Chains A and B, each alone.
Chain A
Amino acid sequence: KQEVTQIPAALSVPEGENLVLNCSFTDSAIYNLQWFRQDPGKGLTSLLLIQSSQREQTSGRLNASLDKSSGRSTLYIAASQPGDSATYLCAVIQGAQKLVFGQGTRLTINP
């Protein structure tokens, strides 16, 4: 049974810092991995999708990496801003097209 773990559960950093969010999964037989952000009371916004054959994806200040063999993904946020404050969710997609989510990392960027 696939399990996804996100560390840390919460993170608070000053504005401008670069930071890394971690995601690990127990079963490396995944199709792809997707990072989402969720703002309080809102839905999930897709940030980056990494297919199993890829090593990384970039979008603006965000860079996500994937190491299938070790069951790990990281989300790197450069030059953090207060608007980046949200909960970040990692989810892996397996054969039955189910998304398996981690519990998320609650990120706070302090001005």
Chain B
Amino acid sequence: AQSVAQPEDQVNVAEGNPLTVKCTYSVSGNPYLFWYVQYPNRGLQFLLKYITGDNLVKGSYGFEAEFNKSQTSFHLKKPSALVSDSALYFCAVRTSWRGGNNRKLIWGLGTSLAVNP
């Protein structure tokens, strides 16, 4: 069965420090991986994706994520956190296999990031 795990409900980091939000996955075939961010009272916004190619992908707002096939992980990172990065972060995955319901994303439960001034 396909699944996504975000092992931390909450991550706290001081402004200016690096941040990491963790994500591990299980999927048949090659994974397509995504990160989304949700600010209070807003819909989710797409941050970045890994489909193929370089394992380090860069996205919006200075975020990046590293695909690690052997560890089946796709952790979200940022070198220097801002207070405005405080939000809910979601990891999602789908299989590369075509057809049927394979376009459907499987979502993690989200990680709340709090960046303290």
B is a partner of A: no
Interface residues of B (CB under 8 A from A): none
